[in-house]
Copies of this chain bind each other. A is one copy, B any other.
Amino acid sequence: MRTKDETKAQDILQATLDEVRDVGLAGLSVEAVARRAGVATGTVYVYFKGKDALLDQLYLRTKQKFATQVLRDDGGPIRAAFTRMTIAYVDYVIENAAELVFMSQMANSPYLTAETREQAAIGLRPLAALLERGKAEHLLKDIDTGWMATFLYETVKSMAPLARGLPPERYREFQETVATLCWDALKA
């Protein structure tokens, strides 16, 4: 008997990401996903319970991957950690355009479970921790941590697409600019 192939699940998830980027969440069809992933339509249902479950799982994985890759506090000096995070964030957005489109399309869609929404929020904790540390050291403004986290998280995400297509040195400049803007905004 053929054994379940985790690669295939990955292929399907990636195909979904690419399809949403190309035709949007509203235009997404399971058949197109399957074709793109190089499997039969029915195979999607071997790995995922249905379209909803597929999208839900993909959302969670994407959020988690992002959190793991970007939102890390290495415990070093605040300013350095802050800058490093911002720069990694911009890189992530540029390198994972499809992921970002997908997350924004899912945000207000009926596909998203309340539970998944909660789960996804957990990934933001390291960011909050970093900001708390900064507040404790009086390097950052003494305002609601949730507000600051949202500021940072959303601002970088929204600005990052501007970096697309920039030549290397301008790209570097852009990253530093973003880091500066955010730091100036939050610093005490």
Contact = CB atoms under 8 A, between A and B. Distances in A.
Give the copy number: 4
A23 B25 CA distance: 13
Q: Which secondary structure dominates where chain A touches chain B?
A: helix
A111 interface: yes
Interface string A136-155: 00000101101100110011
A185 interface: yes
A154 B158 CA distance: 6
B101 A104 contact: no
A157 B141 CA distance: 21
A146 B163 CA distance: 12
Given A155-B155, A159-B154, A181-B186, A24 B111 contact: yes
A177 interface: yes
Interface residues of A, number: 39
Nearest to A143: B177
A105 interface: yes
A151 B181 contact: yes
A26 B92 CA distance: 26
Nearest to A112: B24
A182 interface: yes
B109 A105 contact: yes
28 contacts: A1-B42, A22-B110, A23-B110, A24-B109, A24-B110, A24-B111, A25-B109, A26-B26, A26-B105, A26-B110, A26-B111, A27-B110, A104-B108, A105-B109, A143-B177, A147-B162, A147-B174, A150-B158, A150-B159, A151-B158, A151-B181, A154-B154, A154-B155, A154-B159, A155-B155, A184-B185, A184-B187, A185-B185
